[in-house]
Amino acid sequence: MYLGKIVEFASVEEIFSNPQHPYTKALISAVPQINPEHRTDRVVLTGDIPSPSSQPSGCHFHPRCPIAQQQCTDVEPVLRNINSVTHQVSCHLATGGDLR
């Protein structure tokens, strides 16, 4: 969840093995890993967290998103199936592959 909105919904295994929302990727990258083989590049979010009472237009995460595009500012994404009927994501740019 980000600012009270579900951004990704899937099984624990699917979330950790194939995160699709940039916020999910950032959260997972912040978890310390003892085994160096399991380490991933840290996603550092910049900017201020918007106020829940004055949320930005479009995707609420776009002011802090490292891959945001114009459509993210203009149109609020809907939760949609990706990869399977049990993995849902609210991101215009999620395709089921690796988000960079």
What is the pLDDT, as a whole number, of residue 32? 84
Find the mean pLDDT for residues 21-39. 85
Return the SS3 of 99: coil
Share of the chain above pLDDT 90, in %: 61
Give the three-class secondary structure for 16. helix
| Domain range annotation of the chain | 1-5+7-30+57-95
Whole-prediction pTM value? 0.85
DSSP calls for 28-87: HHTS--SSGGG--------SPPPPTTSPPSSSTTTTT-TT--HHHHHS----EEESEEEE
How confident is the model at residue 42, as a pLDDT? 81
